Amino acid sequence: MSADSEQQSIRCLVAKVGLDGHDRGAHVIARAFRDAGFEVIYSGLHNAPDEIVQAAVQEDVNVLGISILSGAHNTLVPKIIDGLKEYDAFEDTLVLVGGVVPDDDKAELKEMGVAEVFGPGTPMEETIEFVRENAPER
Amino acid sequence: MSAEPDHAELVDELLAGKHRALARTITKIENRAPGYRNLVSQLHQHTGNAEVIGITGSPGAGKSTLVDKMANYYRERGETVGVIAVDPSSPFTGGAVLGDRIRMASNVGDMEVFFRSMSARGTLGGLSTATTDAVKALDAFGKDKIIIETVGAGQNEIDIVKSADTVAVLVPPGSGDDVQMLKAGILEIGDVFVVNKADLKGADRTVQELREMVHMQEDNTANLATGHHGAGAIPDDENDDSDADAEVDEPESWEPAIVETIAKDGEGVEELIETLTAHHDYLETSGLLEDKERMRYAEEIRNLLRDDVGNLLEAEIERRGGMDELVAGVVARETDPYTVADDIIDPIEDCMDQLGDRDE
């Protein structure tokens, strides 16, 4: 009946998980995503994995960007992924990790279901482009 | 239309209490996804049970922190809570940083508090048009309390009265001189005024100024409120579950209450919630709640029709060669905007007339 114009918008959760308190990078990426026209939900510091899962599910984000600099990715990321699966939210959420991740771990994270890992020095455009191309439809 | 998905499965899952389905429903509403109207239609019959509270006020007034503490309080009473927090979007890119979730610290990990950030997506008045529909989704899901936190836009942010039963306006201490209190707009819509950050200097004065303002308003409406016990004595036709006889001397007009809070410490939250409850009780016993609901639906129907007619007109404009073409004629002084508008609307009016004749 109606011809309401659709207003698809890419929604991203930028999450800091665990104990590290360095959120400059998360702020920069949140701002860059905003300027790219995305809707960004920023989780704040020191989130537990289940908080991230709760936020990702309730906000129905297409993209979950996890920022970790503490090296605890191997323990924290799997917990988040399991949580997303529990709520049937894993399949259509693009999970990204940003931070300092050794190459060996990178492969392991990807095997787990992380779509991409962005290390230090990644140009912002590269991340944005990746999101644009891979964000699941809603 | 048959081409549109009917979302029956999504509705079933939502009604069954699946968080994912609720979240996805709100997304479809926000995106105006194909079939979203049908989706909202299906939800409608399951709504009408939640108490909807609007929280508004200037940026930095402490809305999010207060909402967090309120949600926590309701949870401790065993009630479930839905929160919709609206944040501004960029007029240039449409992008937004939705940052209110950070302040929901008291309810972290508690899925019974469903917190959803919404971008204003360019709507004026700070309240996305999708917000009302999202409230319906939360209502149908079974939330007892729904809190809408508006964009901290400012003085003319009054759309919230169209969506909430009770409106609380946060006024931080020292927010302007007493002339601000005379101005129209946001201060006229408060059922409850909350002087948050009451520990700051100037809080007493702000409370005092609000009190004066409220009393002046009361004088204004004094003529309208007739008879002291008259209105309450008239039995309402369908007051089923509320025990009307328990509170006979209910006042028939509501004087906006002023509550002081320090949201970050949770101080005054209990009093605020009691006041909000008192206002809701007042709305119920006075029959105003029903009036509000009727007004709300009338407004909603009008809005939907305006949208639809607007779309019909857009299609008609396209058929006539598009807006550029029409404007060209106006710029060349061959015609004028009024004539163009008449040309487009006349045939539609004729159609309506014919339909009217047929019915008679």
**Residue B123 and residue A20: Cα distance in Å, rounded?**
37
The residue count of chain B comes to 360
**Residue B80 and residue B223: Cα distance in Å, rounded?**
40
* Tens digits of residue pLDDT in B292-306: 999 889 988 998 898
| Model pTM score | 0.85
CA-based angle B176:B181:B184, to the nearest 5? 120
| Interface check B289 vs A, CB under 8 A | no
Residue of chain B with shortest Cα separation from A49: B109
* Tens digits of residue pLDDT in A24-36: 888 999 999 999 9
- By CB atoms closer than 10 A (0-12, 13-18, 19+), residue A93 is buried
Contact assignment for B27 to A138 by CB distance below 8 Å: yes
**Which candidate from A3, A40, A87 shows the least CB-CB separation from B311?**
A3
Given a cut of 90, whether residue B75 has pLDDT beyond it is yes
User: What pLDDT, on the 0 to 100 scale, is given for residue A17?
Assistant: 87
A48 contacts in chain B (CB < 8 Å): 108-109
Given a cut of 90, whether residue B18 has pLDDT beyond it is yes
Residues in A whose CB is inside 8 Å of some CB of B read: 1-9, 11, 30-31, 33-44, 48, 50-51, 54-55, 57-60, 87-89, 138
| Interface check B2 vs A, CB under 8 A | no
Residue B237's closest CA among B287, B281, B202? Answer: B287
Say if CB B264 and CB B62 are below 8 A apart: yes
Residue B177's pLDDT band (boundaries 50, 70, 90)?
low
A39 contacts in chain B (CB < 8 Å): 89, 95-96, 98, 117, 119
Query: Strand order of the sheet with strand B145-149?
Result: B113-119, B81-87, B145-149, B51-57, B166-170, B192-195, B257-260
Contact assignment for A39 to B119 by CB distance below 8 Å: yes
**Residue B252 and residue B223: Cα distance in Å, rounded?**
13
User: What pLDDT, on the 0 to 100 scale, is given for residue A3?
Assistant: 42
Mean pLDDT across chain B: 84
B115 contacts in chain A (CB < 8 Å): 55, 58
**Residue B270 and residue B188: Cα distance in Å, rounded?**
24
* Tens digits of residue pLDDT in A48-97: 899 999 999 999 999 999 998 887 888 899 999 999 999 999 999 999 99
CB neighbours of A75 closer than 8 A, spacing ≥ 6?
none
**Which candidate from B1, B93, B109 shows the least CB-CB separation from A36?**
B93
**Residue B120 and residue B191: Cα distance in Å, rounded?**
24
* Tens digits of residue pLDDT in A4-28: 567 788 999 999 988 777 888 889 9
* Structure tokens given for A58: 């309730």
Average pLDDT of B19-24?
A: 95
CB neighbours of B330 closer than 8 A, spacing ≥ 6?
B336, B337, B340
Burial annotation B45-79 (CB, 10 A radius, 16+ → b, else e): ebeeebbbbbbbbbeebbbbbbbbbbbbbbbeeee
